[in-house]
Amino acid sequence: MKKLLLSFSLLSIITSTYAQSGHDIRINFKNCKDSVMYLAFYQFDKSYLADTCKKVVKGNIVFKGPKTLEKGIYYLVSQDKARYFDFFISDNNQKMTMSTDTADLVKNLKCVTHKENDDFFTYIKFITAKNKEYADVKSKTKGMNKKDSAAFMMEKGKVLNETVIAYENAFLESHKGTFVGDVINLKMEKEAKDIPKASNGRPDSMYIYNYYKNHYWDGVNLQDDGIMRTPFFSDRLKKYFNNVIVQHPDTMSAEIDRFMAKTKAGTMMQKLLIAHFLFTSESSKLMGFDKVFVHVIDKYIRTGMAKEVYDEATIAKIKERGDILKPLLLGSQAPDLLMIDTTGHKQIAKMGFDTVKTSAGATKLYYDNAQNLAQTFVPLYGVKSDYLLLVFWDVDCGHCKTEIPKLLEEYHAIKKEGYDLKVFSVYTQHEYEKYKKYIIDNKLDWINIYDGVHINNIKEKYDIYSTPVIYVLDRNKKIKAKRIGVEQVKDIVKAMEKEYKSEKK
């Protein structure tokens, strides 16, 4: 497997240098039976341990140490990994005292030393009460039919939702400029009001979408590392890039750049975002999104911005991966291949290519026989057709044994419909007799070739780390699709036909 699959939760970029003024967090947890407690914090979509209270005495929990804790949302964790409650830590509140009771954890939450946390606890109490109210309302629908139940919940739910929104807006207004205000703002959706009507008389859906997209990140300070140490940032980030913006590689690249421009050089936010975008673009299942991966490499890896994110060896591998993928992006001119077919095999076998053991030996044979080889090659660019399938496969590949016969059947079906389709079928190994037998036994009546003289380096040239792999090229040998299934071939050929027709108009 050639993919790097880079994890963005890297230890090297999590363990930053702490200032040395220290922290002192004290919690009186009435009726708590835990003997050990942990202090943890959120970071992107992961959580990490910040401190341990090795001995809880009569519910008194103390987290104390010389290190200043990073700004963010922290939470109390039991020895059984149960999460009790969240609270805020920022640069100016490293020392605080809180209390609660197992009888009603949320209702009894208090922070006597820090108003921001006490206000946050008040907010949590309100939201918890409204959630309970919603559950009580829902319980009243038992026995109703589906239509009446939906209408009842819509009416009651709307009132509850409006109450919560009004409360959150008021809370946000009274806490502007504070960390708790910033976090509540991150959590809240930015929805349009006074929506104009479209030509059909309904609310203008494009206006709603554009407003939502354009205001999605209002008030979010991407230069503040504390924002990504919350339970909301990662989900909001993923929602924006997966669901809000148009899923097109050029759009994605532009949005990443716009987003990154709002960060500050050297911050944890910037480091983790670089790693996040690199990871998500490489692991995307959408065809053509390797263009985003290459863009991230060119913009943020090759420029030196990731030198504190990855070590030199990893950066070198990332660049190498980008070098392989760049010539293979959709719309790129396909790299040429100089291959050997079954009729040319006897000639190259006489030259010694079947028995050569080293790359140096193959190179010498090539230059010694260059003139004769030129007459033997079957070049990719020598094939003329409107639609060209470039297929990489192996006789011993189990998946190939299933897919190649399917492709052969599909090839014949498409040809019958009058499409000028050809297949350039590349055997990726060098066991010639086995390869030839498979061609005969399975009646592969397309262009069958292999790298008989060992000069094409097809594994890197076309990123072949598994088989089968199908590329679709147009009449100019530009890559129109790649790494597709057999079942997608006909639809892609038909789409290309529409393109050709539109070009003629």
Q: How many beta carbons lie within 10 A of that of residue 505, not counting itself? A: 4
> Does 8 score more than 80 pLDDT?
no
Q: Helix axis angle, 179-187 relative to 115-139, nearest 10°?
A: 30
In this structure, the answer to whether residues 368 and 468 fall within a common structural domain is yes
In this structure, the answer to whether residues 443 and 349 fall within a common structural domain is yes
Residue 414 to residue 37: CA distance in whole angstroms: 66
The angle subtended at Cα 271 by Cα 265 and Cα 272, nearest 5°, is 140
> Does 292 score more than 60 pLDDT?
yes
Are 114 and 122 spatial neighbours (Cβ–Cβ below 8 Å)?
no
Residue 278 included in any domain: yes
In this structure, the answer to whether residues 312 and 249 fall within a common structural domain is yes
11-25, 76-90, 267-281: least confident range: 11-25
Dihedral angle sign, alpha carbons of residues 270, 275, 276, 282: positive
The secondary structure element, H or E, covering residue 24 is strand 23-30
So what's the pLDDT on residue 353?
86
3 state DSSP class of 106: coil
pLDDT confidence of 16, banded at 50, 70, 90? very low
Q: For the segment 305-328, what is each residue's pLDDT rounded down to a tens digit?
A: 999 899 999 999 999 999 999 999
In this structure, the answer to whether residues 315 and 374 fall within a common structural domain is no
What CATH number is associated with residue 494?
3.40.30.10
Residue 451 to residue 64: CA distance in whole angstroms: 66
> Does 226 score more than 50 pLDDT?
yes
Residue 306 included in any domain: yes
In this structure, the answer to whether residues 355 and 482 fall within a common structural domain is yes
Residue 201 to residue 301: CA distance in whole angstroms: 49
Residue 4 included in any domain: no
Q: Which of 61, 87, 113 is the last residue of a domain?
A: 113
Q: Would you state the structure tokens that stand for residue 124, as one six-digit string?
A: 């949590």
In this structure, the answer to whether residues 102 and 231 fall within a common structural domain is no
In this structure, the answer to whether residues 171 and 225 fall within a common structural domain is no
In this structure, the answer to whether residues 345 and 319 fall within a common structural domain is no
So what's the pLDDT on residue 138?
86
What is the arithmetic mean of pLDDT over 444-456?
A: 93
Q: For the segment 394-430, what is each residue's pLDDT rounded down to a tens digit?
A: 999 999 999 999 999 999 999 999 999 999 999 999 8
What CATH number is associated with residue 16?
2.60.40
- SS (HEC) of 43-98: ECCEEEEEEEECCCECCEEEEEECCCCCCEEEEEEECCCCEEEEEEECCCCCEEEE
The separation between the first and the last C-alpha atoms of the chain, rounded to the nearest angstrom, is 45
Count Cβ atoms within 10 A of the Cβ of residue 177 and give its class: 0-12 exposed, 13-18 middle, 19 or more buried: exposed
Residue 203, beta-bridge partner list: 197
Residue 475 has phi, psi (to 5 degrees) of -65, -20
Q: Domain total for the chain?
A: 4
Residue 103 included in any domain: yes
Residue 408 to residue 430: CA distance in whole angstroms: 22
In this structure, the answer to whether residues 48 and 149 fall within a common structural domain is no
In this structure, the answer to whether residues 25 and 162 fall within a common structural domain is no
Q: Would you state the structure tokens that stand for residue 247, as one six-digit string?
A: 């899923």
Residue 275 included in any domain: yes
* Region for 304 from its dihedrals, namely left if φ exceeds 0, alpha if ψ lies in -120 to 50, beta otherwise: left
Q: For the segment 262-280, what is each residue's pLDDT rounded down to a tens digit?
A: 999 999 999 999 999 999 9
Residue 119 included in any domain: no
Residue 200 included in any domain: no
Residue 196 included in any domain: no
Residues in the chain: 505
The secondary structure element, H or E, covering residue 415 is helix 398-416
Q: Which of 88, 113, 138 is the last residue of a domain?
A: 113
In this structure, the answer to whether residues 316 and 404 fall within a common structural domain is no
Q: For the segment 467-492, what is each residue's pLDDT rounded down to a tens digit?
A: 999 999 999 999 999 999 999 999 99
In this structure, the answer to whether residues 367 and 254 fall within a common structural domain is no
Domain with 394 in it: 338-504
> Does 465 score more than 70 pLDDT?
yes
Q: For the segment 329-347, what is each residue's pLDDT rounded down to a tens digit?
A: 999 999 999 999 988 888 8
Q: Which of 187, 221, 236 is the last residue of a domain?
A: 187
Question: Which residues fall within 8 angstroms of residue 399, CB to CB, at 6 or more apart?
Answer: 467, 468
So what's the pLDDT on residue 362?
84
Higher per-residue pLDDT: 337 or 144: 337
pTM for the full predicted model: 0.87
